[in-house]
Structure 1
């Protein structure tokens, strides 16, 4: 069978963490005969070489190449390309993992769109990943119509014939940004690039010890030498003009401006800061014309202008001012409406703990700013000017894997005068709609815990915070809902007082304990009770009846109606003479569905069905006494002997 995908994994002393990577590779949904995994051991000194050799001896999909240490992953990746047999090659790092269906989905999407490069959606576990690129699937993308340049890691799928035709390989040796050079050239020379945005294919994992190579502090001189090489690729394959400027802007923004901002810059040693600034200043002056920096967001444009003029002290002062910038989010309402969760919140920037104020009249600020006060006035005026294009994002983020999904948001932008009216606050009043049936790129969220995050891009700041905190008193408390075959519970976390979803996982927190025995009705064999749940449409349920003393349980088909009404027909003849504890399964069609205990029991005898409170654990005797007492009262016999 032809090999569809060759997965190439450079390996160097990964230790036990490689086990997660290996498990994700060998657990792919693509049939085993249709892909191979090539581990290129780059001179590991731990137990990894023996582990990989043993794996290869057991699994025909696995091949291992051993070589002396090269110092960087570029060389091992090239070795893997030369050894590959697949139609496509996919690069994976030994500390990361793939989604279960990543290879199958990416290959199929690449073939369907005749793509030389397939970019799969990524998630960052402790690491930032692009958001804009993956808002939607993009069957035909290029650097002009999509923010491809935001994703320059090599963890993508490349058609092997394309790599052979172009001779494209990674720069080798002890250097940085070899992936920028490789991926940028691939984007610019590919006949087509496609982006799979509706499934998380790749999980970037930040190591607990922070030892990821990409997170280490680089030598400024060597690093910006490598940046220049990436810029050379852009110049080689693009003409002067807007497209080239837009690509250059990525390196100006990410590799230069962002390194000079806020706490990230101030936390560096003074001598290192000065060396870093000098290298950035040199590249900005050498390589970037005025069209590169002009479209940057205001705060980024300020830093770029100061760097271009070599004003180190002003960059430090601006970074100190920026440390006071934050995002405040206020949840106002959370409520179910016909099966979807409607979330209303406000968001605005703050500075030093209070609302940030901006000039009410933009005016014509001077570029570049003369001093810190001028820089603040300038970015304030430009932020007000761009406010009408600002939209907050609501992200539903899986707590364990960090996969995140954008939810639809409508926004009203409010310019609120403050003080004497010469300054204004910029407030975003947003309404998001989360549909549990479609919240994960058209599918329902999987069972587990999901957190809500708000992301705002304004003024050159991209701020992400949890949707909260919410005060304990008066905060919205929507019930659990039975929707899309899941029990979905919105709740406020204990640690952050922020909004989260519990999907198919909650038991005690559903609020079923608030149902009292007096809320239950029984007429002959017909039973019903209204549960504190949001139920948008009728659904099947199962009522379980467990005898208080050892015996065989009954499971009765029940109906769950809008409004939370649970109804069932009881098999009274089979229940007589016993007391039955009750539980309900709200999603019987879902694999692994749970039964949730109900706070009442049913005592059935020749006179009918009596509803009594359920016992606490170990309270069978107390339950028996309550049943006897209730029966004596019903029959008018007073109080039974012994209470």
Structure 2
């Protein structure tokens, strides 16, 4: 389990800054990693904390020989402490973790075994989000030979992964320091994905819990400066251009940055909740990037809503962007359970779903594109396709927030009035779910994907498993309410019946008896 007699299998590098008690979940999780003594080490690289973090780290190191602490001058960003931690790391593999995140049980052992078994340069473990988004489509299934062309690797551009140390050294891969500071992990990951000989995705076990602190205290959580941020994105695009990857890989990266780093900031609540002058700066930067650096095929390949926003941003139509955002915040997914049944340990759920804008069903034109409240929103000369519309069924463990996509038989049914209805039937075997570790309370959700939306709708089902491998017990509030209504009717009918019978006996008695 180690790379040599005194070499740990995995080095965990953690940059810290004024984290205080937010470090506790990570520290607690380290003892549950399934590696033998000496199988891992943790290097805390403290970026000049001014609270009691240095003292806490020194106490950890004094109590655990697998922990080391680097006390660094304050740099203001994670790149420098990560690089310094990497230089000190002795492990065959290196995992970069943040100080307010934590590991799932046995995560490092499973990640290392996957890397060893498949001779991987990079292993991406399933991520669980806490008050922040994490990739979902990437973790639909295990992938042991993933590339930018055959898998949605570009959905995961953070550095919270297992890397072969010799791979990083061979290619001189380090986090960029200095200005611009933003997107430092994107720049490293773009090069890493393009250079790696094998990348694996371990989706069947929760490996990394990615959290946003309630006090918004993450170093990178502050609102970005648009000029600096998009200068950093240009640097990432330069890396792709320098490596000259195959067209499919290049387009995946361009489309990812176009959707996530550019256009998502100009739609819906993200636009409406930001200062107006900041949004104008972002729109200006995005408009220039779309025209100058983003491949036309990348713009043509994103879903319709993104193409619309790219078109409006490139034309500087701020009023229309705001009008579209005000409308889009009303778009919701609506879903219903048509039927469900349990046979043994297998649950089958049939779901129907659609999108609504406010109180009205969302309508689509003859091309399958959404009818929008903005004139001339479709760019000239671009044929947009609304393919890929579907509804997934997702089951989530309430205790840990783990999510699993269920296999579905899905159809999409357009109606004459422009509405679109999705129907999906999902099946889940609780004896096999999460490798048989199905104990807990599970919530069922529908995820409607269409035209650039991916929206969740809660379904009125709760599934409880009292033990791993045990039969599921489904709680359906609709059936409970129906039983309550029937019970109320029975009680009412019996009460009314007794009153009626009592009244009948009283009036039937002779007058003399009543006296």
TM range (shorter): 0.7 to 0.9
Shift of 1:465: 2.2
Shift of 1:377: 12
Q: Which residue of 2 aligns with 1:356?
A: 362
Q: Which residue of 1 aligns with 2:335?
A: 329
Q: Which residue of 1 aligns with 2:18?
A: 13
Which of these residues, 36, 61, 74, is aligned with residue 31 of structure 1?
Answer: 36
Separation of aligned partners in 2, 1:19 and 1:492? 38
Q: Which residue of 2 aligns with 1:402?
A: 401
Are positions 1:453 and 2:445 aligned together?
A: yes
Q: Which residue of 1 aligns with 2:375?
A: 373
Look up the SS of the partner of 1:375 in the other structure.
Answer: coil
Are positions 1:427 and 2:421 aligned together?
A: yes
Q: Which residue of 1 aligns with 2:238?
A: 232
Shift of 1:155: 0.4
Which of these residues, 177, 181, 188, is aligned with residue 187 of structure 2?
Answer: 181
Higher share in strand: 1
Shift of 1:56: 0.9
| Structure 1, unaligned runs of 5 or more | 418-422, 471-476, 500-513, 515-643
* Residue correspondence of structure 1 range 23-422 to structure 2 within 5 A: 23-173=28-178, 175-239=181-245, 241-359=247-365, 361-362=366-367, 372-375=374-377, 385-386=386-387, 389-417=388-416
User: Are the structure 2 counterparts of residues 139 and 498 from structure 1 closer, same or farther at C-alpha, using a change threshold of 3 Å?
Assistant: farther
Separation of aligned partners in 1, 2:163 and 2:79? 15
Separation of aligned partners in 2, 1:36 and 1:483? 34
Alignment size in residue pairs: 473
Q: Is the 8 A contact 2:96 2:162 kept in 1?
A: yes
Shift of 1:336: 1.0
Shift of 1:85: 0.5
Structure showing greater Rg = 1
Q: Is the 8 A contact 1:70 1:173 kept in 2?
A: no
Higher share in helix: 2
Separation of aligned partners in 2, 1:318 and 1:97? 38
Separation of aligned partners in 1, 2:372 and 2:336? 36
Shift of 1:153: 0.7
Q: Structure 1: which 4+ aligned runs deviate by more than 6 Å?
A: 480-483
Q: Which residue of 2 aligns with 1:511?
A: none
Look up the SS of the partner of 2:308 in the other structure.
Answer: helix
Q: Which residue of 1 aligns with 2:502?
A: none
Separation of aligned partners in 2, 1:192 and 1:376? 40
TM-score by length of 1: 0.70
Separation of aligned partners in 1, 2:216 and 2:140? 29
Look up the SS of the partner of 2:436 in the other structure.
Answer: coil
Separation of aligned partners in 2, 1:36 and 1:482? 37
User: Are the structure 2 counterparts of residues 321 and 371 from structure 1 closer, same or farther at C-alpha, using a change threshold of 3 Å?
Assistant: closer
Separation of aligned partners in 1, 2:98 and 2:399? 20
Q: Is the 8 A contact 1:339 1:483 kept in 2?
A: no
Q: Is the 8 A contact 2:176 2:184 kept in 1?
A: yes
Look up the SS of the partner of 1:118 in the other structure.
Answer: strand
Q: Which residue of 1 aligns with 2:497?
A: none
Point out which structure has higher relative CO (alpha carbons under 8 A, 6+ apart): 2
Are positions 1:438 and 2:432 aligned together?
A: yes
Question: Could you list the per-position Cα deviations for residues 385-439 of structure 1 after superposition, in whole angstroms to 9, with x for gaps in the alignment?
Answer: 52xx43311111122322111111112322223xxxxx32110122111211122
Shift of 1:485: 4.1
Q: Which residue of 2 aligns with 1:474?
A: none
| Structure 2, unaligned runs of 5 or more | 481-486, 488-515
Separation of aligned partners in 1, 2:466 and 2:77? 51
Q: Is the 8 A contact 1:71 1:173 kept in 2?
A: no
Q: Which residue of 2 aligns with 1:567?
A: none
Shift of 1:150: 0.7
Look up the SS of the partner of 2:399 in the other structure.
Answer: coil
CA-based RMSD of the aligned residues comes to 2.7
Separation of aligned partners in 1, 2:279 and 2:408? 40
Question: Could you list the per-position Cα deviations for residues 488-520 of structure 1 after superposition, in whole angstroms to 9, with x for gaps in the alignment?
Answer: 332257xxx899xxxxxxxxxxxxxx9xxxxxx
